[in-house]
Amino acid sequence: MNPSTLSSSHTHPSLLLPSSSPSLTKRRRFRVSLPRCSSDASSSSPPPPPPRPLKDLKGIEALVDKLSPPARLATSAVIVAGAVAAGYGLGSRFGGSRYAALGGAAALGAAGGAAAYALNASAPQVAAVNLHNYVAAFDDPSKLKKEDIEAIANKYGVNKQDEAFKAEICDIYSEFVSSVLPPGGEELKGDEVDRIISFKNSLGIDDPDAAAMHMEIGRKIFRQRLEVGDRDADVEQRRAFQKLIYVSNLVFGDAASFLLPWKRVFKVTDSQIEVAVRDNAQRLYASKLKTVGRDIGAEQLVALREAQCLYRLSDELAENLFREHARKLVEENISVAVGILKSRTRAAPGVSQAVEELDRVLAFNNLLISFKNHSDVDRFARGIGPVSLVGGEYDGDRKIEELKLLYRAYVSDALSGGRMEDNKLAALNHLRNIFGLGKREAEAISLDVTSKVYRKRLAQAVSDGALEMADSKAAFLQNLCDELHFDPQKASELHEEIYRQKLQQCVADGELSEEDVAALLRLRVMLCIPQQTVEAAHSEICGSLFEKVVKDAIASGVDGYDADVKKSVRKAAHGLRLTRETAMSIASKAVRKIFINYIKRARAAGNRTESAKELKKMIAFNTLVVTELVKDIKGEPEDVSTEEPVKEDIILTEDEEWDSIQTLKKIRPNKELMEKLGKPGQTEITLKDDLPERDRTDLYKTYLLFCLTGEVTRIPFGAQITTKKDDSEYLLLNQLGGILGLSGKEIVEVHRSLAEQAFRQQAEVILADGQLTKARVEQLNNLQKQVGLPQEYAQKIIKSITTTKMSAAIETAVTQGRLNMKQIRELKEANVDLDTMVSENLREILFKKTVDDIFSSGTGEFDEEEVYEKIPSDLNINKEKARGVVHELAKSRLSNSLVQAVALLRQRNRNGVVSSLNDLLACDKAVPSQTLSWEVPEELADLYTIYLKSDPTPEKLSRLQYLLGISDSTAASLREMGDRLLNVSAEEENFVF
C-alpha cells in the first residue's frame, strides 16, 4: 500500500496538541475498526478484537480456488486453444473463406485469452481471501507463522508482492497493531514492541509497508479525533497517538526517522515526538519499578537496566524515577512510623514499632549503598545509592517537625539501655542524611535526649553512692560520657547548671549557711567543677542578690544611708560569701552608673557654674554614700578612716618642676580645710575605664576654671559679677580628680596646659609685633611668676610667638620678592629655621626667581655648582626637581634672549644687545643649544659685530658665533669691517620686521 495514495496530510492538525478549532468535529464521520474506550472506562481492560468475518469466493474465484497452478495453466491453454479452434470453424462455416476463418479464430482466440487471463489474474485475490479466512480462524493472530503464509502463496502460485495479497497482509498487520496498542486511557504493558516485531516477521511484511500501516493507523486516530466532541476523549486520542509514535519508533529502530514521517504528515515537531517517547518510556519504566520492593536484588537491578535500554529511557530520567520510587518506599515506612507516634491511643510499645519502621528504612538504605559499591554497578539500574526525601512528601517545613519527632524517638530508643552503641551512631548518621536534617538540628535533638539520660544516670550514681565512692571521679564521669557518646564539654556545662540550681536553692533565704557551703563543696567535688566556674556562678547568682542590696542602698540617697541600710549591706556582703573583689566589682558597676548620670547632667548644663554644681553633687554623693558603702563592704569599723594619701603623694612627688603652679598648690589640702570639709571620699571606684581620657580631663578642667573664676552671676545689660569664690573648691577639685580616675601626671598636665594657655594669651598681647625689648622681658617675667609657669616653658612660649611673627614676615618678603639668597643665608647663619617658617612651595618659588635673575643678569655667567648644589641645599629643596626647573627656564629664556637682542638692535641700544646676548650664552651654558635660526641673516651679523666690540672672552665669542650660525669667513670679514653697519645713518637702514 503506497502512503502517497492516502489522504493529504497538509490539513492535519497536530495530534499531540489539544484541538484548536471546534469546526474539526463537524466534518464527515468515518466508521473505523480501531477500538476506542470512553473516558469513564479508561481504566478498564481493553475489549478483545472483533472476530474477522469469513469471505466468500465469487464466480471464477471458486474455480481458481479448486485448480492448482499447473492445472490452471493447462486450463488456460485449453481455453485459448478451444477458442481459436472454434473461431476458425465458425469463420470457415459462415464466412466461407480462409480469411474469414482466420478472423474468427483471432476473435475467439482473443476472447479465450481474456478468459484465461482473468482466470490467472484472480489467483492473487483468491490467495488473499484464503489468507484472510485462514487468519480469521485463529483466536490469537500472533500464532500465525511465516510458513503458513508462504504455503498459501505457493498454493495459488502467487507472489507475496502481488497487490491483492500484499494488501491483505498489510490489513492483517494493521489490525494486529491496532489490537495490540492499548486505548488512550490505558498504559503500555511493555510487551507491545516484541509482539509487533514478532508478528511482522511472521507475516514477512517489509518495513516500508509495515511503516505505511503505522502511518495509516495514525490517520485513523486523527479521523477518530475529529469524531469526538468532548475534551476527555480528545485527550485519550492524543495519548493513543503518542503511544503509537513511541511503539513505532521502537519497532523500526534507527530506520524510524525516514520510514515514519510524523513531522511531515501530521505536522508535529521534534520536541513533541521527544515528549511522546519520553513520557511513554517513563510510564513503562515506572510500571516496571512497581515490581521492585525493599528486598531488591542484583538480578532485578540488571533487569531494570535492560528494560531502561529497551525503553530508550535516558540515564537521567531513569535515575530520577528510581530515586523517586525508593523515596516513596521509604515514605510509606515513615508515614506508618509518624502515625504510630501521633496516635493518641498508642501504648508504650508504640515507640518500638515506630523504630522498627525506621530500621526497615535504614536496612533498605544500606542495601542500596552496598549495591552502589558493587563491582557490577555499571550493569545495575541507574539511581542506586543513599535514599533522600528531597522532592517528596516530607520535603518541606511543615513536615520537618514530624521528621524531628522520628529522629528523637530513634535517639531515645538507642539510649534506652543506658548506653549508645557504635552501630546506633552510624544508623543515626544515615537517618539524619535520609531526613535531610541539618547537623545543628540533629545535634540539638541528640544533645537534648542524651542530656536527659546523662542526668538520669548521674542522679542514680549520686543516689547509690557510686560516684562518691569512685577513686577517680573524673574517670567515672568520663566513662559515663564515653558510654553515652556525650561530649565532655557539654557534660561540664550540665554540671555547672546542676551546681547553679543547687546554689539558687541555698541562697533562697538571702544567705549561705555552713551546711549549704558544705553541701555545695561536696557537689563541686563529685562533679569536678573548676574553681573559676564556681566563682562565676557565685558571682552571678549571689552577685545578683547583692547587687539588689547595693542598688537599694544607693537609691536611699545622701540622707537615707542610715544604720538599717548599713546593716543590710554588711549582712549581704558577708552572708553571701562573696569575695571582696567580687563585691567591690558589683558595687562599682552600680555606683559608676550613678556617676555617669551626674556627668551627663553636668555636660547638659547651660554654663560652667551649673556644670560645676552637678559635679559638686557627685562629689558629695561619693563622700557621703559611696565611701560608707565601700567601708561596709570591706567590713571596716566605723572609726577607721578611709583616707588614702596616695593621690596627694603622687602630686607632691611627680613633676616637681611644676610645684610653682598656683592652682596646683591649692588642691593640696591643709589641716584647717580638712577639718572644715570632713573626711575625704573613697578613690577605689572611679570612672577611669568608663570615659576617655579627654572627657575626664575636660570635666576636671571645667571645675578648675570654676575654681579660678568663682560662681558667676549674670546681671542686666550683659554684665557678670562674681558672687562666690572659695579656695575650698580646690579640695573638691582634688576629690573630683580621684572620682575621674586621673593620675597625678594627668592632673599636672591639666594645670600645666591651663597655665600655659593663660601665659600665652597675655604674652601674645605683649609681643604683638614679634620684637623683644628690655621692658617687654620684664613684663613677661612678672607674668611668668604670677602664673607659676617654670622659666624654661615660658621661654619656649616666648620663642614660639616670636618665631611665628618672624615666619609671617619672612613669607611676606618672599611673596613680594624682597628676599634674596644673600639674605636667606644670613638668616640661616643666625640660626633661623627657614624650613618651618617658609613653606616648601614658597622656597621653590624663591629658587625659580633666583635662577631667573641669573639668566637675566646680563653677565653671561652660570655657576653649575652654585645653581645645582648650593642654592637647593640652602633652601632645602629637592635637587633633581631644582635641576628640572633650571632646564625649563633655560630653554624658554634662550629664544626670548635672541628676540630681545634683535629688538634692542633695532632700537640701536648697544649695551642692551650685549646684555641680552650674555643672557643667551648663560642659558646655553645651562642647556647647550643647537644653531639658532633668524629670518634676516644681516641682523645676526650685526649682533655678532656689536658683541665683538664689547671685548668678550674668546670662549664666549666663539660660542656666540656658533649659536648665530656665522661662518669663520664671515666672522673674519666682520672683524675687518668693524662697526660700519652701525655708522650708517638711520635713514639708510632697512630693518626687516
pLDDT at position 967, please? Answer: 81
State what percent of residues in the chain have pLDDT above 90: 1
pLDDT at position 192, please? Answer: 81
For range 738-761, the mean pLDDT: 81
Give the span between the Cα atoms of 129 and 106, in whole angstroms.
35
| Residue 654: band (very low, low, confident or very high) from pLDDT cuts 50, 70, 90 | very low
Residue whose entry in the numeric block shows the C-alpha cell 485459448: 80
pLDDT at position 767, please? Answer: 67
Question: Three-state DSSP class for 720?
Answer: strand
Give the span between the Cα atoms of 455 and 92, in whole angstroms.
136
Q: Can you say how many angstroms the Cα of residue 461 is from the centroid of all Cα atoms in its chain?
A: 51
Nearest CA-CA partner of 704 in 755, 766, 759? 755
| Residue 133: band (very low, low, confident or very high) from pLDDT cuts 50, 70, 90 | low
Contact 455, 494 (CB under 8 A): yes
For range 482-491, the mean pLDDT: 89
Q: Please report, for residues 484, 502, 523, the alpha-carbon distance to residue 497 in angstroms, rounded to integers and kept in the order given.
A: 19, 9, 12
Give the residue ranges of DSSP H helices in 678-830. Answer: 693-709, 729-739, 744-766, 774-787, 791-816, 821-829
- Give the mean pLDDT of the chain: 75
Nearest CA-CA partner of 164 in 178, 148, 179, 152? 152
Q: Is 873 exposed, middle or buried (0-12, 13-18, 19+ CB in 10 A)?
A: exposed
At 201, list the grid cell.
516477521
Q: Please report, for residues 7, 240, 266, 494, 722, the alpha-carbon distance to residue 26 in angstroms, rounded to integers and kept in the order given.
A: 18, 21, 20, 83, 115
Instruction: Read off the amino acid at residue 407.
Output: Y
Give the span between the Cα atoms of 722 and 708, in whole angstroms.
11
First CA to last CA across the chain, in angstroms?
111
For 786-818, what is each residue's pLDDT tens digit? 777 777 777 777 677 766 766 676 667 667 666
Question: Across-strand partners of 715?
Answer: 719
Question: What DSSP letter does each residue of 832-871 carry, written as one string?
Answer: --HHHHS-HHHHHHHHHHHHHHHHTSSS----HHIIIIIH
Cβ-proximal residues to 797 (8 Å cutoff; 6+ apart), any chain: 756, 759, 760, 763, 789
Give the span between the Cα atoms of 114 and 96, in whole angstroms.
27
| Residue 28: band (very low, low, confident or very high) from pLDDT cuts 50, 70, 90 | very low
pLDDT at position 640, please? Answer: 47
pLDDT at position 180, please? Answer: 81
pLDDT at position 764, please? Answer: 76
Instruction: Give the 3-state secondary structure of 507-567.
Output: HHHCCCCHHHHHHHHHHHHHHCCCHHHHHHHHHHHHHHHHHHHHHHHHHCHHHHCCHHHHH
Q: Is 570 left (phi over 0), alpha (psi -120 to 50) or beta?
A: alpha
For range 450-476, the mean pLDDT: 88
Q: Phi/psi at 714 (nearest 5 deg)?
A: -85, 140
| Residue 920: band (very low, low, confident or very high) from pLDDT cuts 50, 70, 90 | confident
Give the span between the Cα atoms of 716 and 150, in whole angstroms.
139
Give the span between the Cα atoms of 849 and 871, in whole angstroms.
12
Q: How many residues are present in the chain?
A: 993
pLDDT at 727 over 50: yes
Give the span between the Cα atoms of 525 and 473, in whole angstroms.
8
pLDDT at 611 over 60: yes
Range in 436-450, 653-667, 701-715, 929-943 with the lowest mean pLDDT: 653-667
Contact 658, 752 (CB under 8 A): yes
pLDDT at 38 over 50: no
For range 220-244, the mean pLDDT: 75
pLDDT at 461 over 70: yes
For range 748-754, the mean pLDDT: 80
State what percent of residues in the chain have pLDDT above 70: 71
| Residue 667: band (very low, low, confident or very high) from pLDDT cuts 50, 70, 90 | low
Give the span between the Cα atoms of 518 and 495, in whole angstroms.
17
For 615-651, what is each residue's pLDDT tens digit? 888 888 888 888 888 888 887 766 544 444 434 443 4
pLDDT at position 79, please? Answer: 57
Nearest CA-CA partner of 633 in 682, 703, 593? 682
pLDDT at position 551, please? Answer: 86
At 782, list the grid cell.
612678672
pLDDT at position 117, please? Answer: 46
Give the span between the Cα atoms of 87 and 92, in whole angstroms.
8
Question: What DSSP letter does each residue of 165-198 carry, written as one string?
Answer: HHHHHHHHHHHHHHHHSPPTTS---S-HHHHHHH
Give the span between the Cα atoms of 360 and 330, in whole angstroms.
8
Nearest CA-CA partner of 185 in 246, 240, 244? 240
Q: Is 740 exposed, middle or buried (0-12, 13-18, 19+ CB in 10 A)?
A: buried
Question: Three-state DSSP class for 430?
Answer: helix
Contact 885, 848 (CB under 8 A): yes
pLDDT at position 100, please? Answer: 61
Give the span between the Cα atoms of 234 and 934, in whole angstroms.
104
For 868-891, what is each residue's pLDDT tens digit? 888 888 777 888 888 888 888 888
Q: Phi/psi at 407 (nearest 5 deg)?
A: -65, -40
At 121, list the grid cell.
489474474
Contact 520, 498 (CB under 8 A): no
Contact 591, 685 (CB under 8 A): yes
Give the span between the Cα atoms of 971 and 959, in whole angstroms.
12
> Mean pLDDT highest for which of 9-23, 429-443, 507-521, 720-734?
429-443
Nearest CA-CA partner of 965 in 989, 944, 987? 944
| Residue 234: band (very low, low, confident or very high) from pLDDT cuts 50, 70, 90 | confident
For range 745-764, the mean pLDDT: 79
Give the span between the Cα atoms of 622 and 592, in whole angstroms.
10
Helices (H) and strands (E) in the chain, counts: 46, 2
pLDDT at position 305, please? Answer: 87
Instruction: Read off the amino acid at residue 687.
Output: L
Question: Across-strand partners of 722?
Answer: 712
Nearest CA-CA partner of 745 in 655, 668, 662, 669? 655
CA angle 579/583/586 to nearest 5° reads 145
Cβ-proximal residues to 38 (8 Å cutoff; 6+ apart), any chain: 232, 233
For range 917-943, the mean pLDDT: 81
pLDDT at position 609, please? Answer: 84
At 611, list the grid cell.
556644670
Higher pLDDT, 764 or 981: 764
CA-atom Rg of the chain in angstroms: 61
Contact 657, 788 (CB under 8 A): no
pLDDT at 9 over 50: no
For range 287-304, the mean pLDDT: 86
pLDDT at position 95, please? Answer: 59
Cβ-proximal residues to 84 (8 Å cutoff; 6+ apart), any chain: 105, 106, 108, 109, 112
Question: Across-strand partners of 926?
Answer: none
Contact 382, 285 (CB under 8 A): no
How many Cα atoms are found within 13 Å in the side-chain-facing hemisphere of 508?
Answer: 4
Q: Please report, for residues 207, 309, 481, 740, the alpha-carbon distance to residue 305 in angstroms, rounded to integers and kept in the order given.
A: 28, 6, 48, 85
Give the span between the Cα atoms of 346 and 339, in whole angstroms.
10
Higher pLDDT, 534 or 5: 534
Cβ-proximal residues to 864 (8 Å cutoff; 6+ apart), any chain: 926
Give the span between the Cα atoms of 486 and 491, in whole angstroms.
7
Give the span between the Cα atoms of 209 and 807, in whole angstroms.
115
- Rounded to two decimals, the pTM is 0.52
pLDDT at 23 over 50: no
Q: Longest C-alpha distance within the chain, in Å?
A: 190
Contact 334, 399 (CB under 8 A): no
Give the span between the Cα atoms of 323 and 390, in whole angstroms.
10
For 190-228, what is each residue's pLDDT tens digit? 778 888 888 878 778 888 888 888 888 888 887 776 666
Cβ-proximal residues to 102 (8 Å cutoff; 6+ apart), any chain: 88, 91
